[in-house]
Chains A and B, each alone.
Chain A
Amino acid sequence: MSSAVPRDKAKVAAASIAAERRTPTVVLAAGLLAAAGFAVPWVVGSQLALTLMTQAVIHAILATSIGFMIRQNGLTSFGHAAFFGMAAYLMALNGKLDAMPAELAVLAAIAVPAAFAFFAGLIIVRLPALSFSMLTLAVAQSLYELMLRWRGLAGGDDGMAVRLPSRLFGIDIELFQAPSSMFVVSWCALVAVIAILTLVARSHFGVLTVAIRENEERARYVGYHTLVPRALVFALSAAVGGLAGVLFALYNAFVTPGALHWSLSGEALIMAVIGGPQAIWGPALGAVIFFVVKNAMGDLTEHWPAIIGAMLIVVTVLLPQGISGLLNRLNRLNRRSREAGKA
């Protein structure tokens, strides 16, 4: 849990002012990290490795969106694939129906899941955390069934191709489908997402939502509206999930109901849990570990579901704060022993 939970309006404001001073650091760090991404395709020659890394980064974005929801709202979504798949299907359906230019479709594919989450959120973030978790799974599975059964619209089980123009935002579409360039695009998106979410978490809004997470009643007595900020966090999280879905649709140029299935939600949730959502970057780290483990399993991947299930159980019980929580704790212990050494 976050160390300092503000208890009144002045403290919420003070905490966010203190954090805003560090904004340039975050932006600079993000710029450097994004730039480093451009070097990766030169260093990593193997197409196979790059394919895998691109997948990992796209899933890392989805995992980050789940982690942000847990961190800011204390609510765990078991159905974030809903937003991922919704965005991917919106891209595909737009290609089929030619409703709008692809650039606009990209923006819509991020905005629609966000709006959907906001309005759904007005109803479901009020519920107990347990009901919220159950319903996210139910909503995602309903969309899965919808796409599975509506053969006329979306090809059912066979899925549908994502028809794209030859250029998108002035960039040759093939660059989105080649692993070496798509890795850079996804990487920059991931870095931007983490930077933006870090700034949001440190802003007045971010501090306020953490305060609501810790004690909604108190936040209300202090004079804040609590429902809309929580629904907004859900919407922001859904937008990030939608972004991952857009990247997925561009990269694969094909989408199946699998993009909405609970196993995808579950995998992304597991990444977030392994990485530890208390750090904004934790879930992305979890995604990398997830893909490394999956790749190392080799022949055992036939039983991959059982392995990730077991992994989830072990990590939840033994390492509830995830890897990032462990790292932070080690860091703190280290600092304390150094201070003790000085004294």
Chain B
Amino acid sequence: MIQVINGLVYGSFLYVLAVGLVLIFGLRRVTNFAHGSFFMLGAYVSYAAAAHLGFWTGMIVSVAALAVFGALLDRFVFRPLSREEPIVTLLVTFGLLFVLEDAVRTIWGKDYISVSAPEALSGSVTLFGSQFPTYRLFVIAVAIAVALGLAVWLRSTKVGLYVRASSVDPVTTAMQGVDTDRLSALVVAIGTGLAGLSGTIAGPLMALSPSMGGYIIIDCFIVVVTGGLTSFTGAFVAALVIGQFHNLGLVYVPEVASVIPLLIMAAVLGLRPQGLAGPRK
């Protein structure tokens, strides 16, 4: 039972990361290959900021820094390249991945750094008769907050409506008079800000290293594709399922756990090529 909750923790945190990619794809029809590096950068920024300002301020700094970075990315990469083939943007963000990883390695070194949970959450609670770290429950709470926040924002605000419209058809949305460039800057900033958030909450869960982005991006990409690329609900379900099984795999068959998400994805895509909740072709 405790393992199931652990799987929920991992799935929650995958969701926060993957939903950022879903948002970006909705507006720009491209993906950010450097998303894993943004996640890693978010973890390091909050670690550096937390050393002086404490965990919570560090989290805010990290989210804000990554959001600014995302807005710049949209302005100077996604927007100018939006007329090119999508692959051009993929290659450029892939190049960025190399650059960011090297930058982090140069600044913070390549050794593992461990981060402790904030004091208020460092204890543990009794769940189903065994001890469970409070911090992990906090991660689940963050994911629920993100999911609810996004749902409310997308469903009940005008900007949210534009974002949903654009993820169905960006061209028509722009023709209706929506400034998709400004919208996209906002959405990409939220997407990368969420990468900063997930990097921050990942700190106390896993050790920081420049390669942590390369590890997490596997599951993140699999979640996005399995969920159907444009669907927030699809990403949510896929993140929970894949997070769950990957975690159970790590407990029972640690050697081969890394291929479990792939098998789940192959099964889903074999039955539904458009993903769990993707539009039919």
Could you list which residues of chain A lie within 8 angstroms of chain B, going by C-beta atoms? 76, 78, 120, 123-124, 126-131, 133-135, 137-139, 141-143, 145-146, 149-153, 261-263, 266, 269, 273, 303-306, 308-313, 316-317, 320
Contact = CB atoms under 8 A, between A and B. Distances in A.
Given A128-B229, A273-B91, A308-B98, A135 B221 contact: yes
Given A127-B269, A305-B101, A312 B217 contact: no
Nearest to B259: A142
> How big is the B interface, by class?
35 or more
Interface of B: 25, 29-31, 33, 81, 84, 86-88, 90-92, 94-99, 101-103, 106, 214-215, 217-219, 221-222, 224-225, 229, 254-259, 261-262, 265-266, 269-270, 273
A312 B94 contact: yes
Q: Identify whether the interface residues of B are mostly helix, strand, loop, or mixed.
A: helix
Query: Which 8 residue pairs across A and B have the least CB separation, nearest first?
Result: A309-B98, A145-B258, A312-B95, A306-B102, A309-B99, A313-B95, A134-B221, A305-B102
A128 B30 CA distance: 11
A131 B229 contact: yes
Q: Which of A76, A133, A153, A309 has the most CB of B within 10 A?
A: A309
Contacts of A142: 218, 258-259, 261-262
Contacts of A151: 255
A313 B254 CA distance: 37
Given A137-B33, A150-B256, A76 B90 contact: yes
Nearest to B228: A131
Nearest to B97: A309
Contacts of A135: 221-222, 225, 265
The main secondary structure of chain A at its interface with chain B is: helix
B102 A320 contact: no
14 contacts: A135-B221, A135-B225, A141-B214, A141-B217, A142-B258, A149-B254, A149-B258, A150-B255, A261-B214, A262-B214, A303-B106, A305-B99, A309-B97, A312-B95
Contacts of A124: 269
A105 to B, nearest CB: 22
Contacts of A273: 91
A151 B255 CA distance: 8
Nearest to A131: B225
Given A129-B87, A131-B229, A320-B88, A139 B31 contact: no
B19 to A, nearest CB: 15
A311 B99 CA distance: 10
A153 B256 CA distance: 11
